[in-house]
Amino acid sequence: MPSDHAGTFAERVAAMQRIERGEQQYGDGSPALQATAYYLDHLLVDAVARARAASDLPRRKVDVLISLCGFAATPTVLTYELLRPRRLVVITSRDAPDSVDLIGQRLVAPDRLRFQDFRHVLVDASDPLDMYQNIARELAGRDGRHAVIDITGGRKVMSAAAALAAWQLNLGLTYVENQFDPVTRQLRHGEVRLIALENPTTLFGEQELARALETFRSGAFEAARRRYDEIAERIAVPGRARLMRALAELYRTWCDLDLAALPSAVSGVEQSLRQGRRELTPATAATVDRQLAFARRLAAGEPTAFVVCFYVLGRHYQQLGRHDFAALLFYRTVEACLTTRLRHRYPGFEPDDCDWTLIGDPATVRAGYAAVSRSLTPPSSAGPPNKLTLFAAAILLASLDDELARRTRLVDPDRLHELRDRAWARNKSVLAHGTEPIADVHTESLRQEASGLLTAYWALHGDGDDIDEFCAELRFLRDDR
């Protein structure tokens, strides 16, 4: 064995190149294997130091390194020395057994890998599915965020298959980049760096954002918020995820009528909009602005905002096919239209604790109520109760010949019968007083009742806008653009 393995780095590189050309001997095997052995013995330490200085290494500690290996063992060994993972899996094709031997001889050592932490797996280099299945098997039960695939040593098909596997398994990628001398067309072994490529889903998050959007569209806003929160912490450009996280939280508090949390949720969306308005189209941004204005009214406890809110939420749940929730909210819309109308017309009057003197002469009020009740079949209660139910409020407004009752024809006994029948279907549901599910036809019937009363109520107490257009603007977004 020659002794010219001393000297400068450049001199040792020249010696290795002579070995590659068969001009010099270094142990047994082919010239390529001899040159690789020489590199590992006499160039690797300096090459690692130079590469470490030139490389942008992964921020997280690497637990598992999965390295593609063809004829050259040096990329795997170099990457191992730079990353120092706890476990190494070499993915190789049938024509590279000598490289696996060199890697094992070099890296299975007291200060490096234990035998049980070094694995080599034979794959079909032209079969991406075989590549994926083997990598997935090696990572079973492990957190993929702490694993990387080094694609330097693989053939083109192997590297492409490994990159696809990394994408699916949410793994990072590394690649050892060598510089070539343009004159000699030889590798410049001292100019090597490791490039760490974040997984595309981590960099841009398009697939994860799409999955989170499906959760968002399903109305599972808390689950969507958690997903967007995780994505925002990982991807390189998190503006869109942060905006959708804030919007999911707003819709969650809105659906839950969590009035205590609503102001904070509104502020969160406003802050995200300042930083990420460009993530939305102008039309969508304008819709969000109008929804925020309404949410502020709702958080302030504005009675008319509650009337509209019940209807908007009812439509939301109806579109999701959750008919029991939708029916309950349409029922609450009808009830709110009637009772809030009474509060508007008779300041201080509370339907939950009726003071009839605020409406007029108590005897006259009771007599009028009793007359309308007797006109029904079967008759309703003879006199108004101290706490008004939905139907009692409708009878009272009809007996007072109220404008809302006239606009919705509740002054007609047949219309009162219709209202009672529609309310009765909801009263038998599991969210009221019974055990029966609400059919979609009954939900739609209640929606029509709620829509008619809301239109009349809005004409008397709204802000002049078209109520159908206003409700459409308040409908929860289905897209993130």
DSSP labels, 15-35 = HHHHHHTTSS--SSS-HHHHH
pLDDT at position 210:
86
Q: Rg of the Cα trace of the chain?
A: 37
Contact 446, 426 (CB under 8 A): yes
Q: Which residues pair with 172 in a beta bridge?
A: 148
pLDDT tens figures, 94-135? 767 788 888 999 999 999 999 999 999 998 877 888 888 988
Q: C-alpha angle with apex 177: 171 to 178, nearest 5 degrees? A: 160
- CA-closest candidate to residue 423, choices 335, 348, 362: 335
Q: Is residue 207's pLDDT more than 90?
A: no
Query: Can you tell me the distance from the alpha carbon of 423 to that of 396, in angstroms, rounded to the nearest whole number?
Result: 17
Residue with tokens 């990982």: 234
pLDDT at position 412:
96
Residue 306 CB-density burial (10 A; 0-12 exposed, 13-18 middle, 19+ buried) = middle
pLDDT at position 171:
83
Collapsing DSSP states into helix, strand and coil, what is residue 110? coil
Q: C-alpha angle with apex 80: 76 to 81, nearest 5 degrees? A: 120
- The pLDDT mean for the chain works out to 88
Between 175 and 336, the more confident residue is: 336
pLDDT tens figures, 171-187? 888 888 887 555 444 55
pLDDT at position 157:
82
Query: Can you tell me the distance from the alpha carbon of 328 to that of 423, in angstroms, rounded to the nearest whole number?
Result: 10
pLDDT tens figures, 424-466? 877 777 777 777 788 899 999 999 999 999 999 999 999 988 9
Helices (H), 235-379: 239-256, 262-276, 282-299, 303-319, 323-345, 362-374
pLDDT at position 312:
98
- CA-closest candidate to residue 453, choices 399, 384, 402: 402
Contact 237, 269 (CB under 8 A): no
Residue with tokens 């999911």: 248
Instruction: Tell me the two tokens of residue 383.
Output: 């006199």
Query: Can you tell me the distance from the alpha carbon of 308 to that of 292, in angstroms, rounded to the nearest whole number?
Result: 14
